[in-house]
Amino acid sequence: MAVLPTLPKCPSFTIFSSSSSSSSSFPSYRTTSFWCCATTQSQVAVVNGRSDGEISQRNEIRLGLPSKGRMAADTLDLLKDCQLSVKQSNPRQYVAEIPQLSNLEVWFQRPKDIVRKLLSGDLDLGIVGLDTVSEYGQENEDLFIVHDALEYGDCRLSFAIPKYGIFENINSMNELAQMPQWTVEKPLRVATGFTYVCTTELALTFSFFLLGTIFLHLLFLAIEFRLSLYQLGPKFMKENGVKYVTFSTADGALEAAPAMGIADAILDLVSSGTTLKENNLKEIEGGTVLESQAVLVASRRSLIQRKGVLDTTHEILERLEAHLRAVGQFTVTANMRGSSAEEVAERILSQTSLSGLQGPTISPVFCKRDGRVSADYYGIVICVPKKALYKSVQQLRAIGGSGVLISPLTYIFDEETPRWRELLAKLGL
Ligand SMILES: Nc1ncnc2c1ncn2[C@@H]1O[C@H](COP(=O)(O)OP(=O)(O)OP(=O)(O)O)[C@@H](O)[C@H]1O
Ligand SMILES: O=P(O)(O)OC[C@H]1O[C@H](OP(=O)(O)OP(=O)(O)O)[C@H](O)[C@@H]1O
Ligand SMILES: [Mg+2]
């Protein structure tokens, strides 16, 4: 029998959500649809037909990359910069290869499906935003973040409220929580696309309806198997003391919800803040639930059990690290007159911007004068960050440097990376 991935236990959390909330009257927005979410999970499990701990029988290693959207192009660019260009014979083809990595298949998928397929065992590795891992990964222990900072796709998952009306003077989560407007009957309505159901905790809800003041009728007793709500948002609201809150889901253009009267606040990704500003919304102090950027994520089971996944992950990680370290760094070479390498080193290290990564490399430049070979000059090589480049050149000149050559760096391979050591330690290898 198929077994669902391990689900984390959410703290029990009372959310005053009801299907009679105003959002239900708008077809593009829907209130909490527990059954729908539950079905999605079961489908994943049934499709897999595998229990936790097992991996599927296939030989090739599979890497999932975003097929569309804002992560797609940047992901391909990053891999190209790491000399791991993806070869796709046709843009409509969802499978591709990276010739440098043997036995690896690239599968283009929607970001959320990459996470789902890592969980189901249909992918071994993937590159997506941390927000997508948090939302669709359900904190499942099988998901292993191999590299947590690929330095693109930066955004944050934040609460935003209108700049006007009752929110005009509200500027922090604390102030939002203190607003007297939110009650059991009229909770704060939050629209969000981050709606993953996180726990199978069942809540029995008895609904009594009062008709007028004369007739008190129990119209019906509804038992709702309420798969206690959304993960990131509710947890965050609880931590911030917002007691009365209801969440509704929407697929896009969330920023319209407050102005349309569908929600009081939204929980969505923010990057430049332009969309919020254009829709008269504002972020508030303490309202960021998660900072996100692109990450490399792996299935723990695949890393341990599937032949070659660990080695391939090591190579990808090394190339990523080496490339990301090199971004924005330049190699500076120059000649400098001096009596010895030590004396030249003294002069260089007296300057603040010339210490390089581990210190300057200094080599004698030999020339023949009057039939004698001697080293009056020394060639120096240092790495300099882009922002300190001009200052470094000035400092080099000031201590007698000449013939300064500057070239960009492709890779900086250092000793074994801390991330790799951490990965091995966490896997118990
Ligand atoms: N405004 C943004 N700026 C930077 N990165 C973003 C922004 N919005 C989203 N992202 C990152 O890019 C990822 C993919 O977003 P994208 O908009 O392409 O897909 P989606 O919103 O999940 O799907 P769709 O928009 O097709 O419904 C997000 O999960 C997030 O990590
Ligand atoms: O802070 P900004 O730079 O303005 O970006 C924020 C917007 O970007 C994302 O939407 P996207 O463009 O992906 O559209 P979507 O709502 O259809 O996903 C996000 O949902 C915000 O609406
Ligand atoms: Mg989007």
Query: Among 256, 264, 242, which Cα is nearest to 178's?
Result: 242
Phi-psi region of 63 (alpha: psi -120 to 50; beta: other; left: phi over 0): beta
Confidence band, pLDDT 50/70/90 cuts, at residue 92: confident
**CB-based contact 17:31 (threshold 8 Å):** yes
Q: How many residues does the chain have?
A: 429
Ligand 1 site, residue 289, Cβ cutoff 6 A: no
Q: What is the rounded CA–CA span in Å between residue 40 and residue 270?
A: 27
| Backbone phi and psi for residue 184, each to the nearest 5 degrees, phi listed first | -60, -45
State yes or no: pLDDT of 30 exceeds 80. Answer: no
> Which residue's C-alpha comes closest to atom 20 of ligand 2?
269
Pocket test for ligand 1, best of 127, 150, 155 (most atoms within 8 A of CB): 155
Q: What is the rounded CA–CA span in Å between residue 378 and residue 338?
A: 7
Written as six digits, the tokens of 115 are: 């996470």
Confidence band, pLDDT 50/70/90 cuts, at residue 79: very high
The label of the residue with tokens 């998901």 reads 143
Q: What is the rounded CA–CA span in Å between residue 101 and residue 251?
A: 36
ipTM attached to this prediction: 0.97
pLDDT confidence of residue 231: 58
**CB-based contact 47:272 (threshold 8 Å):** no
User: Rounded to the nearest whole angstrom, what is the distance from the C-alpha of residue 310 to the centroid of ligand 2?
Assistant: 35
Q: What is the rounded CA–CA span in Å between residue 125 and residue 79?
A: 14
> Which residue's C-alpha comes closest to atom 9 of ligand 2?
269
| Ligand 1 atom closest to Cα of residue 71 | 12
Helix axes 70-81, 309-326, angle to 10 degrees: 90
State yes or no: pLDDT of 2 exceeds 50. Answer: no
Ligand 2 site, residue 166, Cβ cutoff 6 A: no
Show Cβ contacts of residue 395 under 8 Å, excluding neighbours closer than 6 positions: 351, 352, 353, 354
> Which residue's C-alpha comes closest to atom 20 of ligand 1?
69
Show Cβ contacts of residue 371 under 8 Å, excluding neighbours closer than 6 positions: none
- Average pLDDT over the chain, rounded to whole? 80
> Which residue's C-alpha comes closest to atom 16 of ligand 2?
252
Ligand 2 site, residue 216, Cβ cutoff 6 A: no
User: Rounded to the nearest whole angstrom, what is the distance from the C-alpha of residue 69 to the centroid of ligand 1?
Assistant: 6
Q: What is the rounded CA–CA span in Å between residue 115 and residue 117?
A: 5
| Ligand 1 atom closest to Cα of residue 294 | 31
Cβ-based neighbour number of residue 335 at 10 Å:
19
The larger pLDDT score, comparing residue 225 to residue 210, is at: 210
Stretch (H or E) spanning 247: strand 245-250
Q: What is the pLDDT of residues 213-263, one digit of tens each?
A: 433 333 333 333 333 344 577 888 888 999 999 999 888 899 999 999 999
Query: Among 34, 391, 97, 418, which Cα is nearest to 223's?
Result: 34
User: Rounded to the nearest whole angstrom, what is the distance from the C-alpha of residue 268 to the centroid of ligand 3?
Assistant: 10
> For residue 283, which ligand has an atom nearest its CA?
2
| Ligand 1 atom closest to Cα of residue 68 | 18
Print burial letters for 411-421: b (CB count within 10 Å at least 16), e (below 16).
ebeeeebebbe
Ligand 2 site, residue 321, Cβ cutoff 6 A: no
User: Rounded to the nearest whole angstrom, what is the distance from the C-alpha of residue 279 to the centroid of ligand 2?
Assistant: 12
Residue 294 pairs in a beta bridge with 129
Ligand 1 site, residue 73, Cβ cutoff 6 A: no
Considering the chain, what percentage of its residues have pLDDT values greater than 70?
Answer: 79
Q: Cα-Cα-Cα-Cα dihedral of 5, 8, 12, 18, to 10°?
A: -40
Lowest mean pLDDT among 121-135, 296-310, 360-374: 360-374
State yes or no: pLDDT of 7 exceeds 50. Answer: no
**CB-based contact 160:233 (threshold 8 Å):** no
Ligand 1 site, residue 53, Cβ cutoff 6 A: no
> Which residue's C-alpha comes closest to atom 17 of ligand 2?
252
Sign of CA dihedral 186, 187, 191, 193: negative
Strands of 125-129's sheet in order across: 95-97, 104-109, 61-66, 125-129, 294-299, 143-147
Q: What is the rounded CA–CA span in Å between residue 398 and residue 359?
A: 19
Ligand 1 site, residue 252, Cβ cutoff 6 A: yes
Helix axes 309-326, 418-427, angle to 10 degrees: 150
pLDDT confidence of residue 52: 54
User: Rounded to the nearest whole angstrom, what is the distance from the C-alpha of residue 289 to the centroid of ligand 1?
Assistant: 16
Q: What is the pLDDT averaged over residues 193-220? A: 41
Q: What is the pLDDT of residues 117-176, one digit of tens each?
A: 999 999 999 999 999 999 999 889 999 999 999 999 999 999 999 999 999 999 999 999
Ligand 2 site, residue 253, Cβ cutoff 6 A: yes
Ligand 2 site, residue 268, Cβ cutoff 6 A: yes
User: Rounded to the nearest whole angstrom, what is the distance from the C-alpha of residue 126 to the centroid of ligand 3?
Assistant: 18
Ligand 2 site, residue 252, Cβ cutoff 6 A: yes
pTM above 0.90, yes or no: no
In order of their start, the domains of the chain are: 34-154+293-325 (3.40.190.10), 159-196+231-288 (3.40.190.10), 329-408 (3.30.70.120)
**CB-based contact 335:379 (threshold 8 Å):** yes
Written as six digits, the tokens of 287 are: 């309202």
